[in-house]
Homo-oligomer: A and B are copies of this chain.
Amino acid sequence: MANTEQLVAQRLTESGIRYSTGRRAVIEALSAADGPRSAAELHRDLAEAVPLSSLYRSLSVLTDADVVTMHHGSKGVTRYELSEWLTGHHHHLVCLSCGTVDDITPPPDLEADLESVVISLTVSGRFSPKGHALEIEGFCSECA
């Protein structure tokens, strides 16, 4: 997706944030991933290009700019992925064994079902929903 690059560049420019090479490397690594990645995993890929402290700072900046979204996974590690306005709305398959998280995008009819459940659950009015996340926990093909 060369398109992602442009959208990110535009968003950062609007926010007065520079799209430096380090940050570009982070965005590229996240674009290449098929699910949320931890800082450690990203650092493994980017090792020389981006030192760990800079990686964390870049993720923080990108998260503030809403280009990247953080998720909280097992063993206290935080995982990051491109925000849904870049990737499209999706849910997660979480492996109970190895902790890997993969994205899954439901077909429109299932997504509609989910949304109607969310709405039904919050009609009472005490809580105003802004979004939802379905996490399906189980075992990935590797850990079967």
Residues 15-71 (chain A) with a chain B CB within 8 angstroms: none
Which residue of chain B lies nearest to A74 when distances are taken between CB atoms in the complex?
Answer: B72
The answer to whether residues A134 and B136 also contact, given A73-B72, A121-B110 and a CB cut-off of 8 A, is: no
Known: A72-B73, A110-B120, A113-B113. A93 touches B137 (CB 8 A): no
A137–B131 CB distance below 8 A? yes
B110 to A134, Cβ gap below 8 A? no
Interface pair B131/A132, CB less than 8 Å apart:
no
Q: Is the C-beta of A10 less than 8 angstroms from some C-beta in chain B?
A: no
A residues contacting B by CB (< 8 A) are 72-74, 76-78, 91, 93, 96, 102, 104, 106, 110, 113-114, 116-118, 120-122, 126-141, 144
